[in-house]
């Protein structure tokens, strides 16, 4: 495999900046990979080779003209097909939106452009970022699911069809596919990345996030995307200026971890469970604890909020195109229409109360660990797997990251999930980098 695939995104951007390689040359290498592998992996909802090379040429001309360059200048980035782009359709994984486009770029697309990055294409998503699977397969075994809903974004990075990509998570849509595909998937704290111009499934639970092959790569991409946006009222002022440098610096002391096997531990296949047990034992600074009892309530409340928000946001589709919706979506909306306001309000209220309890962990520990998924990617393409190991942290709005540190059955990748404290993403990524490095050595 050629050199550019082993470089960090930061180093690749430096090479482009220093004219050691052009953006066109970089993109051509990715186009080669796509030609070779996408017929089997099917990670792209929209990919136009000609458009990509035009953008890369423009980036190279921009550099040659001596204009100021952003931190991702000339770097191609894959973007989940729920993110609005004016130069490509945004179909959101549903036949209802076949060929349809958004009239504006999403805020994060503008931020990518400001950083000099190139939107190289749109990656597949499960139906409306929920559970109905896309056409995409797992790069490690085409007969298995890549996970969802950010299926294409995880698969594209795993198969070196893109260096980095953007996804989103409402239940487990970043962490699960990252685990199944063997890449790094990072969901920042709630409200760090704007969702303005992106398909809304749940205001309360939707998070944007990123995929890469290394922690440093996701830190760099996140840094570019984190910005207060008046059009997404959930976004907060959070300075990401030092995000990459803090990630590289890592923690000052050896961090202490807590490992939650969670109540779903028995769902995990034996080989994967053994891999986790081995991982836990190989560190002196990991303590195993029972899951807090309120995690059960969180699962209940996550479902009430998620289903109700789906019912509200897709009521139009449900009324007009019900038959074009998957059974997953039809059931969720039907449930969503039945919940009571009292339960919903309680579910929202418990977000704040449970976070207060969760936060106490960080008085004694620097990170929480847990499986990213109940084992390796399951066989078949009719389901994207379950998000039982992810919903708690989507609900709590805490940062989480899946690190491709283990192997389960058939030597398939298996992710370790690290979770941090809300709005502590700098330090959190430093700890993630520390863990990644420990496992390299």
Q: Are the beta carbons of 80 and 153 closer than 8 angstroms? A: yes
Binding mask 298-337 for its own copies (x = CB under 8 A): ------xx--xx-xx--x--------------------xx
Residue 12, classed as helix, strand or coil, is: helix
At closest approach, how far in Å is the CB of 399 from its own copies?
A: 17
Q: How far apart are CA 113 and CA 244, in angstroms?
A: 19
Contact pick of 89, 135, 203, 361 for its own copies (by CB under 8 A) = 203
Intra-chain end-to-end CA distance of the chain, in Å:
22
* 294 interacts with its own copies by CB under 8 A: no
Q: How far apart are CA 163 and CA 213, in angstroms?
A: 7
Q: Are the beta carbons of 259 and 287 closer than 8 angstroms? A: yes
Footprint (CB under 8 A) of its own copies, residues 402-441? none
Q: Are the beta carbons of 185 and 292 closer than 8 angstroms? A: no
Contact pick of 263, 343, 409, 438 for its own copies (by CB under 8 A) = 343
Q: Which of 80, 214, 261, 391 is catalytic?
A: 80
Contact pick of 239, 282, 331, 340 for its own copies (by CB under 8 A) = 340
Degrees to nearest 5, angle at CA 256 with 250 and 257: 105
Q: Name the residue nearer to its own copies (CB basis): 104 or 315.
A: 315
Contact pick of 342, 363, 364, 441 for its own copies (by CB under 8 A) = 342
Contact pick of 355, 362, 423, 438 for its own copies (by CB under 8 A) = 355
β-bridge pairing 118-123 and 44-46: antiparallel
At closest approach, how far in Å is the CB of 334 from its own copies?
A: 12
CA distances, 78 to each of 55, 151, 266 (Å): 14, 12, 35
Within its chain, how far is the Cα of 11 from the centroid?
A: 22
Q: Name the residue nearer to its own copies (CB basis): 327 or 342.
A: 342
Active-site annotation holds for 284:
no
Active-site annotation holds for 80:
yes
Q: Are the beta carbons of 168 and 150 closer than 8 angstroms? A: yes
* 205 interacts with its own copies by CB under 8 A: no
Q: Which of 151, 173, 370, 372 is catalytic?
A: 173
* 352 interacts with its own copies by CB under 8 A: yes
Residue 251: which of 441, 438, 7 has the closest Cα?
A: 438
Q: Are the beta carbons of 388 and 264 closer than 8 angstroms? A: yes
Q: Name the residue nearer to its own copies (CB basis): 117 or 396.
A: 396
Contact pick of 48, 249, 339, 362 for its own copies (by CB under 8 A) = 339
Binding mask 257-286 for its own copies (x = CB under 8 A): ------------------------------
Q: Are the beta carbons of 340 and 392 closer than 8 angstroms? A: no
At closest approach, how far in Å is the CB of 428 from its own copies?
A: 18
Active-site annotation holds for 189:
no
* 86 interacts with its own copies by CB under 8 A: no
Q: Name the residue nearer to its own copies (CB basis): 57 or 335.
A: 335
Contacts of range 58-64, beta carbons closer than 8 Å, 24 or more positions apart: 59/16, 59/23, 59/116, 59/118, 60/22, 60/23, 60/24, 62/116, 63/16, 63/17, 63/19, 63/23
- Which tokens hold the place of 178? 């990252």
Q: Are the beta carbons of 56 and 27 closer than 8 angstroms? A: yes
Binding mask 160-199 for its own copies (x = CB under 8 A): ----------------------------------------
Total chain residues near its own copies (CB under 8 A): 25
Q: Name the residue nearer to its own copies (CB basis): 160 or 344.
A: 344
Binding mask 225-244 for its own copies (x = CB under 8 A): ------x-x-----------
Q: Name the residue nearer to its own copies (CB basis): 212 or 336.
A: 336
Q: Which of 23, 126, 149, 370 is catalytic?
A: 149
CA distances, 369 to each of 105, 213, 247, 258 (Å): 36, 20, 18, 6
Using the rule CB under 8 A, give the single segment among 31-39, 125-133, 208-216, 344-352 that binds its own copies: 344-352
Q: Name the residue nearer to its own copies (CB basis): 312 or 330.
A: 312
Strand partners, 164: 77
Other CB atoms within a 10 A radius of the CB of residue 332 amount to 24
* 345 interacts with its own copies by CB under 8 A: yes
At closest approach, how far in Å is the CB of 217 from its own copies?
A: 31
Q: How far apart are CA 271 and CA 273, in angstroms?
A: 5
Q: Which residues are catalytic?
A: 80, 149, 173
Residues in contact with its own copies by CB under 8 A are 203, 231, 233, 304-305, 308-309, 311-312, 315, 336-337, 339-346, 348-349, 352, 355-356
């Amino acid at each position: 495999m050629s050199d550019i695939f082993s470089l960090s995104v930061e180093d690749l951007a430096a090479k482009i900046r220093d004219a050691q390689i052009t953006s066109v040359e970089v993109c051509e290498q990715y186009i080669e990979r796509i030609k070779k592998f996408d017929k089997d992996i099917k990670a792209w909802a929209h990919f136009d080779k000609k458009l990509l090379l035009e953008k890369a040429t423009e980036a190279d001309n921009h550099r040659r003209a001596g204009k100021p360059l952003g931190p991702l200048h000339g770097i191609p980035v894959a973007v989940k097909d729920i993110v609005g782009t004016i130069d490509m359709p945004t179909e959101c994984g549903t036949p209802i939106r076949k060929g349809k486009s958004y009239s504006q770029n999403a805020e994060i697309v503008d931020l990518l452009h400001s950083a000099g990055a190139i939107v190289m294409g749109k990656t597949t998503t499960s139906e409306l970022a929920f559970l109905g699977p896309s056409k995409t397969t797992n790069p490690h075994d085409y007969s298995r699911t890549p996970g969802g809903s950010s299926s294409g974004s995880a698969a594209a990075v795993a198969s070196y069809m893109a260096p980095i990509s953007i996804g989103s998570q409402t239940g487990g849509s970043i962490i699960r596919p990252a685990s199944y595909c063997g890449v790094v998937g990072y969901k920042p704290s709630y409200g760090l990345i704007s969702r303005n111009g992106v398909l809304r499934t749940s205001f309360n639970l939707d998070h944007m996030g990123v995929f890469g092959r290394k922690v440093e790569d996701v830190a760099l991409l996140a840094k570019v995307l984190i910005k207060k946006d008046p059009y997404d009222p959930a976004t907060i002022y959070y300075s990401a200026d030092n995000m990459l440098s803090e990630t590289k610096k890592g923690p000052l002391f050896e961090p202490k971890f807590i490992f939650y096997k969670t109540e779903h531990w028995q769902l995990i296949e034996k080989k994967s469970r053994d891999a986790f047990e081995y991982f836990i034992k190989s560190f002196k600074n990991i303590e195993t604890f029972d899951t807090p009892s309120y995690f059960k309530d969180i699962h209940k409340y996550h479902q009430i909020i998620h289903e109700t928000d789906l019912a509200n946001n897709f009521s139009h589709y449900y009324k007009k195109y019900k038959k074009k919706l998957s059974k997953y979506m039809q059931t969720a909306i039907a449930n969503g229409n039945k919940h009571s306001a009292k339960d919903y309000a309680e579910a929202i209220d418990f977000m704040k109360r449970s976070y207060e309890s969760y936060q106490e962990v960080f008085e004694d520990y620097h990170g929480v660990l847990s499986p990213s998924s109940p084992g390796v990617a399951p066989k078949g393409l009719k389901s994207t797997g379950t998000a039982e190991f992810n919903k708690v942290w989507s609900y709590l709005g805490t940062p989480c990251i899946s690190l491709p540190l283990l192997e389960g059955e058939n030597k398939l990748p298996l992710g370790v999930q690290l979770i941090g404290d809300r709005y502590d993403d700098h330090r959190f990524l430093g700890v993630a980098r520390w863990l990644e490095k420990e496992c390299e050595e």
